Amino acid sequence: MKYTALVDGNRLDIEFERKSDGTIQARVGDRTYSLESSVVGSGLYWFNSNNRSIEVAVTSSPDGYIASVGNHRIAVEILDARTALRKAGQAAHAGAIELKAPMPGKIVKVLAAEGAEIKVNQGVLVMEAMKMQNEIKSPKAGVVKKISVTEGTAVNAGQVLATVE
C-alpha cells in the first residue's frame, strides 16, 4: 500500500508491504525498514525493528493525527493522491508569482483589483482565445500586487497578466 504523508509539515512517500513471515517492510522515502508490529489497544501500537521496541500512541486531530513516541508528538496527515498533488502545487508557490497568458488572446474581464486578497484557484482575469473564454486563476492564496493588462487588451502567449504575492 502506498501513501503520501505530511509529517511535521514535510512530505514523505511511504509504502508498506506485509511479508509472508508476518513482518512489515516499510519504505519511507529512500530508506527501507523491516518491522514486527501489533495492536496493543485502541490507538496504541507496538513495533520492533532491529531488536528496538517502539510504542506509538495515535490520536485524531483536526488536520489528521498526532503520533506520540515517548515524549515526542508528531503531526501526521495522510493524503490521497489528488490532495497530495494539490498541496505540492501550492507549496511550490512561495513568494510572488506571475500569471501569464497561456496563448495569444484578448482580456475580456478583470475579476480582481490590485491590492485584493484572493484564495487558491480564485479567478483573476478572463481571457478569450480561439472564441473560448478561459478564466486565469491564481495557484496560490495571496494579494494581487499588479494587474498588467486592462479589459480589451490583446496579449501574446507568455505575457505577464498579473502578479500575486
Sequential pLDDT tens for the chain (165 residues): 788 888 877 778 888 898 888 889 989 888 998 999 889 999 999 999 888 999 999 998 887 889 999 889 988 888 765 565 555 555 555 678 889 888 899 999 999 999 999 988 899 999 998 888 989 988 888 999 999 999 999 999 889 999 999
Within the chain, all domains assigned CATH 2.40.50.100 are found at: 95-164
Per-residue model confidence (pLDDT) at position 91: 55
Per-residue model confidence (pLDDT) at position 148: 95
Per-residue model confidence (pLDDT) at position 2: 81
Residue 71: other Cβ atoms inside 10 A? 5
Positive or negative: CA dihedral 77, 82, 84, 86: negative
Q: Which of 60, 63, 62 is nearest to 43 (CA)?
A: 60
Confidence (pTM): 0.47
Per-residue model confidence (pLDDT) at position 89: 55
Distance CA 26, CA 89 (A): 26
Q: Which fold has domain 2-88?
A: Glycoprotein, Type 4 Pilin (3.30.700)
Architecture of domain 95-164: Beta Barrel (2.40)
Within the chain, all domains assigned CATH 3.30.700.30 are found at: 2-88
